[in-house]
């Protein structure tokens, strides 16, 4: 049984597609994806967990809370007068899914320290409760080193393992900063670079996505990717 949390250095940087790639690369293993708090969608709309299942295939998709406004989970829950998702809720759900699946992927909302509730609970707190590592998804280009270093530092301060870093959207024609970041990201994170998912990967057909996913991830995540030189 394995639980892996997936966070990002910000929002809209490819967490869902990276989560789907990790799920797709876990061939022969039963996989569940848990989205603790989905914001910005009405009931019945296609959410991140459903998108992982669409791309990766036979995946159990679970949401704990859904809030209509596209805001941080704590703010969205408060404005909707709805019960927030708390770190213990996330930990309990992940551990239950782990009794029924070989791999559980817990995808956060936004960055690591985005608040789930008004008491300040975060994805980092949930990972600490479970004792699970956290995979950090980063952008490719300028500015990513500082955000990645801060995320890794926040994990260390809470005694949570950083499993590694994956670039969430690797450009077809990477510039100088992106090429240099391949070397620098693992240094500032203090953890290995475990993949780079190409930009536009989420627009592939599910069949193509599943066939190619192992090309984007390092062996530790079930793939055969190695950093470009």
β-bridge mates for residue 138, sequence order: 167
Q: Which of 5, 17, 31, 35 is catalytic?
A: 35
| Whole-angstrom distance, CA of residue 121 vs CA of residue 158 | 13
| Whole-angstrom distance, CA of residue 216 vs CA of residue 22 | 9
- CA 137 from chain centre, in angstroms, equals 6
| Whole-angstrom distance, CA of residue 107 vs CA of residue 38 | 10
- Whether the CA torsion 197, 112, 45, 62 is positive or negative: it is positive
Q: Helices (H), strands (E): how many in the chain?
A: 8, 7
| Whole-angstrom distance, CA of residue 151 vs CA of residue 13 | 14
Q: Is 35 a catalytic residue?
A: yes
| Whole-angstrom distance, CA of residue 134 vs CA of residue 160 | 7
Q: CB atoms < 10 A from the CB of 16, how many?
A: 24
Q: CB atoms < 10 A from the CB of 157, how many?
A: 9
Active-site residue list = 35
């Amino acid at each position: 049984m394995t639980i892996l949390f997936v966070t990002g250095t910000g929002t809209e940087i490819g967490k869902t597609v990276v989560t789907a790639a990790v799920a797709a690369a876990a061939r022969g293993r039963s996989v569940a994806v848990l989205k603790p708090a989905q914001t910005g969608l009405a009931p019945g709309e296609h959410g991140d967990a459903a998108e992982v299942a669409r791309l990766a295939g036979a995946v159990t998709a679970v949401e704990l809370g859904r809030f209509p406004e596209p805001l941080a989970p704590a703010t969205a829950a408060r404005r909707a007068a709805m019960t927030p998702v708390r770190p213990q809720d996330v930990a309990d759900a992940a551990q239950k899914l782990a009794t029924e699946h070989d791999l559980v992927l817990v995808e956060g909302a936004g960055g690591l320290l985005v608040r789930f509730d008004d008491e300040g609970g975060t994805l980092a707190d949930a990972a600490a409760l479970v004792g699970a590592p956290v995979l950090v998804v980063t952008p490719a280009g300028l500015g990513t080193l500082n955000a990645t270093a801060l995320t890794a530092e926040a994990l260390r301060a809470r005694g949570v393992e950083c499993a590694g870093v994956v670039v969430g959207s690797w450009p077809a024609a990477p510039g100088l900063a992106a090429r240099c970041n391949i070397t620098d990201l693992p240094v500032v994170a203090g953890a290995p670079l475990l993949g780079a998912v190409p930009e536009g990967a989420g627009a592939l057909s599910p069949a193509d996505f599943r066939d190619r996913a192992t090309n984007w991830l390092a062996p530790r995540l079930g793939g055969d990717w190695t950093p470009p030189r």
